[in-house]
């Protein structure tokens, strides 16, 4: 499909049915330049860079989403409903909440709790629990096994708040077994679920909420290679 929206203007460059979604548009560019071949840029609106290329002969796209559920779900909705995307794989950073998580560990969100009001729009008679696509999750697990990569699979918190006024909030989520905190996956999962598309979120631990460990901004842009090398074979399958 070659339509356009106020936020995505492909200029006749194709968008693949599987799209990787880093938050940082520069990480999208890094992935395209270092992992894909025959790359074409399909978006530059608002500098939210998007690229389509090939990985092992299969067409794959990668595009930044910005930070937070409103931004990520906006791009997810348009990619699905306007451009026909079927599978969306969020690749990003997260803050560890559990003591056994270390920097650069891989977290896969089988479910995504949230403090956002995003789900209210669906007017459901209860609380919707956004979950990952099992086919994507199991494929990443199989790829991790092939590569010898340890996965931490479980619930994450998709939060609207980066600087939380309530200093006790993260501990209460951790007490419920939530692995890590990030800011986009619940919106992506819910948007995909409503549309009948598949979604998965895979993260690299960039910092730990309780012990103060953290990576640099440069590392967050270019050093999270294990995560990328796990999802690309799945995206191209």
Euclidean distance between CA atoms 25 and 128, whole angstroms: 30
Indicate which residue of 24, 160, 166, 207 is catalytic: 207
79 DSSP 8-state letter? H
Contact 102, 205 (CB under 8 A): yes
Q: CA separation (Å) from 60 to 133, 180, 191?
A: 18, 28, 20
User: At residue 17, what are phi and psi to the nearest 5 degrees?
Assistant: -70, -15
Q: Is 207 a catalytic residue?
A: yes
Angle at 219 between CA 217 and CA 225, to 5 degrees: 140
C-alpha dihedral sign at 226, 237, 82, 200: negative
Q: What are phi and psi of 27, to 5 degrees?
A: -70, -35
Residue positions annotated with a catalytic role: 207
């Amino acid at each position: 499909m070659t339509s356009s929206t106020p936020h995505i203007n492909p200029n006749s460059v194709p968008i693949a049915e599987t799209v990787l979604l880093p938050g940082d548009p520069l990480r999208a560019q890094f992935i395209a330049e270092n992992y894909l071949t025959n790359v074409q840029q399909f978006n530059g609106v608002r500098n939210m860079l998007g690229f389509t290329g090939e990985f092992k002969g299969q067409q794959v796209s990668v595009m930044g989403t910005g930070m937070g559920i409103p931004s990520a779900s906006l791009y997810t909705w348009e990619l699905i409903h306007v451009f026909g995307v079927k599978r969306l794989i969020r690749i990003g950073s997260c803050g560890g909440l559990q003591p056994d998580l270390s920097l650069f560990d891989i977290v896969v969100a089988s479910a995504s709790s949230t403090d956002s009001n995003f789900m209210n729009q669906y007017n459901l008679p209860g609380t919707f629990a956004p979950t990952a696509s099992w086919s994507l999750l199991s494929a990443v697990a199989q790829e991790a096994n092939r590569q010898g990569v340890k996965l931490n699979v479980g619930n994450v918190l998709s939060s609207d708040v980066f600087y939380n006024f309530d200093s006790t909030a993260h501990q209460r989520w951790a007490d419920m077994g939530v692995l890590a905190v990030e800011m986009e996956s619940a919106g992506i999962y819910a948007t995909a679920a409503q549309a009948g598309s598949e979604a998965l979120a895979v993260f690299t631990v960039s910092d730990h909420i309780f012990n103060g460990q953290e990576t640099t901004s440069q590392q967050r842009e270019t050093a999270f290679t294990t995560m990328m090398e796990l999802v690309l074979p799945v995206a191209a399958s």
